[in-house]
Amino acid sequence: MELRGCNVCRLLFTVIFSALCAKGVVGQSEPLQVSEGQHMTLEETGKLLPPEKMSRMIDEHLKSIREVYPEMMNITHRPKWAAGELIVSEINQNTVRIINSSRYGPLKAADKMPGSSNSFRLIFSKPYHPARLSEEISKAFDLDHAEANMIPGDGNDIRYIAASPAPTYYTYVFKMGWGECHMPGGCIYRHFWEFSVAQSAETLTVRFEKEYGSDVSRKLRLKVRNQKSSMKKVL
């Protein structure tokens, strides 16, 4: 009965989705909610989907850094592209319906691009790496133009620095950027804070390592206070 119920729900979703497609109004333009850890894991691994363990670990590390150094609260990771989104050109609504019902679906939204009758912004229900997803669906559905939905500009950011296969600590670099950040060359001014996180079975030890870059004394002063914080074990 449960399987039959699931099939009915999926069929109902497909029928509703198809009806909306026919009207040219499909889903919402709201982006998929993706955590910093998921985005950073996608960028680091290049996998189709972010490995859950690494994603949760990075989210936990960033949370601990901000607990010890609340000055870092407003500095967040700035992705280069939207996870789980593609801009697909030269397709029709029937192809959109096929993609929606495929193993890559369901789609969260399929919005027509302004001024185009055959270009769509596809928002998937999973946080796919757009480059990997483009490769796979282009082969699966014989698409010629499927690319990432890029996020232009520069600004604050966080970078995860990969360590050895079995690291004793993890490194994160927080960046504050300001001054003409919308220009092609990025922000004129940049300041960086580097932290390390040592992980044991029950605690995370956050340590401030160094800072460098443009003068930020009028914007933010960091008080060094290295300490341990309790954690839920990352499985």
Q: Using the predicted structure, report yes or no on whether residue 4 has a pLDDT greater than 80.
A: no
pLDDT band of 185, cuts 50, 70, 90: confident
d(CA 215, CA 210): 14
d(CA 206, CA 55): 18
Q: Using the predicted structure, report yes or no on whether residue 36 has a pLDDT greater than 80.
A: yes
- pLDDT of 20 reads 44
Query: Which pLDDT tens digit goes with each residue over 187-199?
Result: 999 999 999 999 8
Q: Using the predicted structure, report yes or no on whether residue 147 has a pLDDT greater than 70.
A: yes
Amino acid letter, 19: A
Amino acid letter, 173: V
What residues contact 79, with CB distance under 8 A and at least 6 apart? 34, 39, 43, 151
Average pLDDT, the chain: 85
Least confident interval from 8-17, 105-114, 130-139? 8-17
Whole-structure pTM value: 0.80
- Per the DSSP assignment, residues forming a β-bridge with 160 are 172
What residues contact 144, with CB distance under 8 A and at least 6 apart? 89, 90, 138
Which letter, b or e, does each residue of 149-183 get, where b requires 16 or more Cβ atoms within 10 Å of its Cβ? beeeebbbbbbbeeeeeeeeebbbbbbbbbeebee
d(CA 228, CA 179): 35
Query: Which pLDDT tens digit goes with each residue over 151-179?
Result: 999 999 999 998 766 677 899 999 999 99
Least confident interval from 77-81, 125-129, 134-138, 216-220? 216-220
- pLDDT of 166 reads 65
State the first-to-last Cα distance of the chain, in angstroms, to the nearest integer.
33
CA-angle at 59, arms to 87 and 225, nearest 5°: 135
The length of the chain is 235
Q: Using the predicted structure, report yes or no on whether residue 230 has a pLDDT greater than 60.
A: no
